């Protein structure tokens, strides 16, 4: 692939990936009993989800399905054994622990994000990812014990962004937000952009038209593609942050995607 063609392919993939990461905005880790260690596997879903019908990724597939592209997913890890992801998830990095792999996912959030990016097509399943040939580089920035919350330590997030940029990711999908302008996060993002990496970030789920609407990072940093959420009627999802850091909007309510352990989750 020539340099120009590769740049166009990566750019198109990044923008379409940006249009899909919104499922994490309204999503929270599933509430589970204290004695249960991880979120339950998902359920069967045979239809084509509304978001997929709207975005129609099959229109992009004649140009690219993401072959040769690595997308880093910064969330709770990714279940590398899910049938629609198996064989295309690298070991990755556990930024929470500071070492080790992130190709497992107790909370299920990262697997959901990886699903909308890269789930392969299988018979009798209507859902598929936007770029089914990409490779996922999972980076855990949310601790396993954080059921019911997607809070992330800015220091951990910065570590994860820096590792992904240095490890060959062409696209970094930051599926979480922090609400402080952290020096380390800012520096990690700047380094990634300087390396030519496309950084895509959710704008968060704390938007309120009549009250608090804290600025989300890294979405608000220059050069980052910030993505907000819409509902099935095309309106801003009520929790989606709003401001000049929103570069794109995409479906973010009643989303269907993969769940850790197999099957689908509906958020």
pLDDT at 33: 39
Is residue 43, in this structure, part of any structural domain at all?
A: no
Is residue 35, in this structure, part of any structural domain at all?
A: no
pLDDT at 221: 97
Give 126-158 pLDDT, tens digit per residue. Answer: 788 888 999 999 999 998 765 555 578 999 999
Is residue 36, in this structure, part of any structural domain at all?
A: no
pLDDT at 171: 95
pLDDT at 243: 82
**Could you give the angle at the alpha carbon of 54 between the alpha carbons of 71 and 109, nearest 5°?**
40
Q: What is the pLDDT along the chain (267 residues), one digit of tens a residue?
A: 444 444 444 444 444 455 445 444 344 444 443 435 788 888 887 777 777 777 788 888 888 888 999 999 999 999 999 999 999 999 999 999 999 999 999 999 999 999 989 988 887 777 888 889 999 999 999 987 655 555 789 999 999 999 999 999 999 999 999 999 999 999 999 999 999 999 999 887 777 766 678 889 999 999 999 988 777 777 776 777 778 888 888 777 777 788 898 888 876
Q: Are 139 and 92 in contact (CB under 8 A)?
A: yes
CATH number (domain holding residue 159): 3.40.50.200
Cβ-proximal residues to 219 (8 Å cutoff; 6+ apart), any chain? 174, 177, 201, 202, 203, 204, 226, 227, 241, 245, 246
Is residue 45, in this structure, part of any structural domain at all?
A: no
pLDDT at 26: 40
pLDDT at 236: 78
Q: How far is Cα 79 from Cα 261, in angstroms, rounded to an integer? A: 7
pLDDT at 42: 82
Is residue 245, in this structure, part of any structural domain at all?
A: yes
For residue 214, which of 252, 247, 181 has the smallest C-alpha distance? 181
Is residue 13, in this structure, part of any structural domain at all?
A: yes
Number of independent structural domains in the chain: 1
pLDDT at 147: 52
pLDDT at 209: 63
Is residue 33, in this structure, part of any structural domain at all?
A: no
Query: Domain containing 103: what range?
Result: 3-27+52-266
Is residue 230, in this structure, part of any structural domain at all?
A: yes
Buried b (16+ CB within 10 A) or exposed e, 69-102: bbbbbbbbbbbbbbebbeebbbebbbbbeeeebb
């Amino acid at each position: 692939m020539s340099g120009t063609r590769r740049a166009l392919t990566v750019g198109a993939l990044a923008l379409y990936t940006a249009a899909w990461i919104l499922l994490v905005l309204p999503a929270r880790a599933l509430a589970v009993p204290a004695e249960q260690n991880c979120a339950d596997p998902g359920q069967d879903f045979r239809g084509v989800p509304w978001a997929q019908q709207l975005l129609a990724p099959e229109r992009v597939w004649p140009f690219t399905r993401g072959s040769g592209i690595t997308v880093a997913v910064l969330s709770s890890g990714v279940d590398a054994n899910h049938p629609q992801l198996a064989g295309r998830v690298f070991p990755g990095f556990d930024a929470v622990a500071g070492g080790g792999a992130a190709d497992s996912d107790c909370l299920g959030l990262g697997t959901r994000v990886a699903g909308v990016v890269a789930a392969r097509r299988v018979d009798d399943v209507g859902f598929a990812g936007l770029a089914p040939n990409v490779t996922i580089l999972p980076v855990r920035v949310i601790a396993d014990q954080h059921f019911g919350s997607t809070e992330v330590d800015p220091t951990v997030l910065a570590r994860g962004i820096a590792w992904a940029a240095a490890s060959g990711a062409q696209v970094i999908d930051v599926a979480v937000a922090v609400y402080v302008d952290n020096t380390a996060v800012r520096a990690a993002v700047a380094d990634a952009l300087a390396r030519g990496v496309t950084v895509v970030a959710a704008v968060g789920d704390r938007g309120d038209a009549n009250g608090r609407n804290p600025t989300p990072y890294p979405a608000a940093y220059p050069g980052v593609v910030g993505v907000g959420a819409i509902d099935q009627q095309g309106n801003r999802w009520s929790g989606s942050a709003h401001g000049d850091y929103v570069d794109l909007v995409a479906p973010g309510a009643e989303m269907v995607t993969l769940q850790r352990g197999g099957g689908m989750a509906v958020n």
